[in-house]
Amino acid sequence: MGLWDKLMGEFVDVIEWTDDNTDTMVYRFPRYNNEIKYGAKLTVRESQMAIFVNEGQIADVLGPGLYELETRNLPLLSTLQHWDHGFNSPFKAEVYFCNMRQFTNLKWGTRNPIMLRDKDFDMVRLRAFGTYATRITEPRQFMQQIVGTDNRFTVDEISDQLRNMIVSRFATVIGQANIPVLDLASNYEQLGQFVTQKIAPEFKAYGLELTQILVENISLPENVEEALDKRTSMGVVGNLDNYLKYQTAESLGKSGGNSSLDMGMGFAVAGKMAEVLNTKTASAAAPTPAPPPLPNLSWHIANGQEQSGPHTLSDLQNFVRTGVLKATSLVWQPGMANWQAASTVPEVATLIASVTPPPLP
């Protein structure tokens, strides 16, 4: 600094920072030889914090407000050293302003593909990118760990480190999540929230807060995406035979059937239609097999006070062979008014006659 800067430093007694740059995180107020006049006014605006540094050590951190640099008004500054003149002459200290607002729309993305196992495609390579937002929460810690003596610290100076942290943890999270590739799009929000929680302690160690991570896209290699597009197209076409017929008919309609190609396609369609008609005709001419007769389960038999049923005629024939059904046994079926002797019912009498041998001569 020259003589003019020295003179301006003697007369200027207002310490403040107003900057329209959106990327400045920490700004050191410039003073000639770091001299601050007795009674100077310090203005700390909303979304700002002021840090006093004396002989390389952080003396105090001041929040939003208007401060007059006098001993009776600033007891918090009592840790500053070497005030031999009792504030009557300038004292040397550095004032850093920390921007406490959120820094949004910061980019992150994978430089190299992430290798993953997938249940649908076996092994895949994925790329991902998105945005994140961060802000300073501990000015003292941020100064000690990151800024140092930088007179103007911007977000670009730390964005690479923060981006590498996000990509590293994102690869771990997506590898452990075991989410199929085709279902990743429905889990972008959950992945962003989980990664935010995962990295929060590491940002906190720098005096920062990771307020949000947005996953904008997770993509496959181009050749895999082309294969997926073909597979999707096949699904949209549906029945390939019907699709070819439709395409053929549409081509014939557009050209009026004048070209040799159209004639060949017309013959092919005619042959296909004849084949379908022949198949339908053959199916109609074939006799329909008659269904097997239902068994007659309507017979009941009684010997004395014991009765059983319903039985089929085949059951009655077996009962005749075993002697359970005799000519004197009573039988009944729906439609008969009363029980009748088996020998008087024609259907049952025939069964008895076919099994019982004729009398000896």
Q: What is the pLDDT of residues 157-174, one digit of tens each?
A: 999 999 999 998 888 888
pLDDT of residue 10: 47
Same domain, 50 and 69: yes
pLDDT confidence tier of residue 355, bands split at 50, 70 and 90: low
Final residue of a structural domain among 172, 205, 220: 220
d(CA 154, CA 147): 9
Same domain, 113 and 209: yes
- Inform me whether the pLDDT recorded for 9 exceeds 70: no
Distances (CA, A) of 89 to 17, 56, 74, 202: 24, 21, 16, 44
Average pLDDT, the chain: 76
- The answer to whether residue 240 sits within a structural domain is no
- The answer to whether residue 135 sits within a structural domain is yes
Distances (CA, A) of 242 to 190, 246, 273, 326: 42, 6, 12, 68
d(CA 85, CA 38): 10
pLDDT tens digit string along 98-144?
999 999 999 999 888 888 888 877 788 888 999 999 999 999 999 98
The CATH code of the domain that includes 184 is 3.30.479.30
The number of domains in the chain is 3
pLDDT tens digit string along 248-294?
666 666 655 555 555 555 556 556 655 655 665 655 555 656 545 54
Backbone angles phi, psi at 329, to 5 degrees: -65, 150
Cα Rg of the chain (Å, integer): 48
- The answer to whether residue 277 sits within a structural domain is no
pLDDT of residue 1: 46
- The answer to whether residue 286 sits within a structural domain is no
Domain with 147 in it: 103-220
Same domain, 209 and 107: yes
pLDDT of residue 324: 81
Q: Is the CB of residue 210 less than 8 Å from the CB of residue 142?
A: no
Q: Is the CB of residue 98 less than 8 Å from the CB of residue 136?
A: yes
pLDDT of residue 139: 93
Same domain, 21 and 109: no
Kind and range of the H or E run holding 25? strand 24-28
- The answer to whether residue 281 sits within a structural domain is no
- The answer to whether residue 243 sits within a structural domain is no
pLDDT tens digit string along 212-253?
899 998 888 787 777 777 766 666 555 556 666 666 666 666
pLDDT of residue 328: 83
- The answer to whether residue 308 sits within a structural domain is yes
Closest residue by Cα to residue 315 from 347, 340, 358: 347
**Which of 217-226, 313-322, 347-356 has the weakest average pLDDT?**
347-356
pLDDT of residue 122: 79
Final residue of a structural domain among 204, 220, 236: 220
pLDDT of residue 155: 92
Cα end-to-end span (Å), the chain: 154
Please give the model's pTM, rounded to 2 decimal places: 0.57
